[in-house]
């Protein structure tokens, strides 16, 4: 499986064919934007 870094300590195995990886990237980007905007 591929691994997506959620943060520096956590890695999540994902199926490269799945849409979950894109969803996760979008979620993480949203969270990062929120953190930066606070």
Tokens of 17: 């064919």
pLDDT at 1: 63
pLDDT value, residue 7: 63
CA atoms within 13 A on the CB side of 20: 12
CA angle at 36 for the pair 31 and 3, rounded to the nearest 5°: 40
Spans of all domains in the chain: 2-37
Confidence (pLDDT) at 21: 75
pLDDT digits (tens, 9 = 90+) for 1-38: 677 766 666 666 666 677 777 888 889 899 989 989 98
């Amino acid at each position: 499986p591929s691994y997506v870094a959620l943060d520096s300590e956590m890695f999540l195995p994902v199926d490269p064919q799945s849409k979950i990886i894109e969803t996760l990237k979008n979620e993480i980007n949203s969270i990062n934007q929120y953190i930066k905007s606070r």
